[in-house]
Amino acid sequence: MTNLCRRLMPVLLVVTMIVPVAQGKTKMLQSWVDPSVGQYQFKKILAVAVIDNADIRRQAEEAIVRNVRRGKGYPSISILTQGSERDVEGTKRKLREAGFDGVVVMRLATVDNKIEYVAPTLPDPYVNYYSYSMWAWNSSAGPSDMRYKLNLQIETLFYSLTDDKRLYVSVSETTNPQSPADLVDQIAKVIGKELQKKGIVK
């Protein structure tokens, strides 16, 4: 069992002892899409989960890939080794050489406070994938922040790599996840439907 599982499972057990735990539920709280999104046709999309734990990161990225159109999505952990994702120039070179033209990135943003922002007027690090990546890997909520919390908020962004443009941003909330695997699977399903609904992934 991973460290994240060890930390999260006691929370789920405590909740079960206090009240009956309903099946985890994920809902979309906020979303924004760039009006120009219809002009894009993405052929190769990188799925990034900003999670330090390699096992959970792989689960999350593979869940995203399953919910993006077949043959278009690839987990970043198969391209960017642990730690190398913080090397911006190296990442640019690898993604360019591999032919990626889009990236969807998911990050655990908060476990207790509401995220309040209005896209596209987001903070500077959000302007393109590479600046966001550098900031996000140092800012993601860690497993220790998840104790005794039932509501987890996840932010998801989609960037075009060909012109360094942010096309989509959303905040979703998951209540009472049964396990880390359940958490990432729920979010990936919601995000996959959103990206198709908004016309980002065709």
36 — alpha (psi -120 to 50), left (phi > 0) or beta?
alpha
Q: Render pLDDT for 44-53 as a digit per residue (tens, 0 to 9).
A: 999 999 888 8
Label residue 99 exposed, middle or buried (CB < 10 Å: 0-12, 13-18, 19+). exposed
pLDDT at 181: 79
Indicate the pairing of strand 151-160 with strand 102-110. Answer: antiparallel
Q: Render pLDDT for 164-188 as a digit per residue (tens, 0 to 9).
A: 999 999 998 887 777 777 888 888 8
CA distances 33 to 18, 42, 147, 158, 177, Å, are 40, 15, 33, 9, 27
Q: Render pLDDT for 103-134 as a digit per residue (tens, 0 to 9).
A: 999 988 776 544 444 555 565 677 778 777 77
- The CATH classification number of 3-197 equals 3.40.50
pLDDT at 140: 54
Joined tokens for residue 16? 């079960």
The helix (H) or strand (E) run that includes residue 62 is helix 54-67
Question: How many alpha carbons lie under 13 Å from residue 23 in its C-beta half-sphere?
Answer: 2
Average pLDDT of the chain is: 75
User: Angle CA(178)–CA(184)–CA(190) in degrees, nearest 5?
Assistant: 105
